[in-house]
Amino acid sequence: MARSGRRTIKIEAPIMITSDKIAVWMDQGEWAMDFFDWLSKAKLNNKLSGLQHLNSKIKLTFVTAEDCTMFGLKYAGKRKK
């Protein structure tokens, strides 16, 4: 979960970075489609200001620290279901 005061959070994702720095979704992008659909339904998509692909993770940057904390709380609740 995101700590208060931070604008970025890293979450696990089925993604891999190749040796030539290309991001490849290991599930043909299904996780990404579901995630961004959920982000839109949770009304957090317009609060996202950046995204960075990492090995097995994505790093999300939000407009404000409050938006990042709200995402962390909602995403933790989504993962428990």
1 lies in a domain?
Answer: no
The type of residue at 33 is M
36-53 pLDDT tens trace: 999 999 898 899 999 999
44 lies in a domain?
Answer: yes
Q: In sequence order, which residues have a C-beta less than 8 Å from that of residue 41 and are 6 or more positions away?
A: none
Domain count, the chain: 1
Q: What share of the chain is helix, strand, coil (3-state, %, to 5)?
A: 40, 30, 30
28-39 pLDDT tens trace: 889 999 999 999
39 lies in a domain?
Answer: yes
What is the pLDDT confidence band of residue 81, given thresholds at 50, 70 and 90?
low
Residues 4-22 have a mean pLDDT of: 91
Q: What is the CA radius of gyration of the chain?
A: 13
Terminus-to-terminus CA distance in the chain, angstroms? Answer: 16
- pLDDT exceeds 70 at position 76: yes
